[in-house]
Amino acid sequence: MVSEREKMLSGDRYDPMDPELVAERKRARELTRQFNQTGPGDDEERAAILEDLFGSSGEAVTVEPPFRCDYGYNIHVGESFFANFDCVFLDVCPIEFGENCLLGPSVHVYTATHPLDASERVAGPEYGKPGTVGDNAWIGGRAVLNPGVTLGDDVVVGSGAVVTEDVPDSVVVQGNPATVVKELE
């Protein structure tokens, strides 16, 4: 029998109230609570908490509190990752960041989504679509990456953009929905 966790990770519809998933979310909330209560000089403590929380991470990872996520173990960040204050990652499916990624304040990355049919949605199942960010990305403050979006390498996402579709390498996107406004050399 396939567990609700296995369904969630594969992007199938799952029951978010499954006891295993509820316990895993509580664990993530406790770790983020601890992380968010650290002081400005508590770099080693922050690094230890993120190592316990994230699925994997490279060297030189900085996340400014406060930070929120659903599970944590689905978050994978590369070398030289920086996330400014108030970022939120809804990681029911994997979220993967390449190397040298910079996130402005209040960047939200969503993998969680719900059925469009109201009767099915009210019944409670959820599902997810993974998100991927390539190397050398810069995501401006208050930008949102929707479920299933992939950003290529060397992408710049303008502040406040809502990214609803994949973005190719070496472009600037902005707006709602985000569109390419410039190609980079």
CATH number of the domain residue 147 falls in: 2.160.10.10
- pLDDT for res 146: 98
**Is 108 marked active-site?**
no
- Amino acid (1-letter code) at residue 99: E
**Ranges of the chain with pLDDT below 70:** none
- pLDDT for res 65: 98
Encoding tokens for residue 179? 């569109």
Count of structural domains within the chain: 1
Encoding tokens for residue 50? 């993120």
Q: Which of 5, 27, 114, 142 is the catalytic position?
A: 114
- pLDDT for res 118: 96
Q: What residues are paired with 14 via a beta bridge?
A: 126
> Per residue in 108-147, is it b (16+ CB within 10 Å) or e — as a string?
bbbbbbbeeeeeeeeeeebbbbbbbbbbbbbbbbbbbbbb
- pLDDT for res 51: 97
User: pTM for this structure?
Assistant: 0.96
Domain that holds residue 162: 4-183
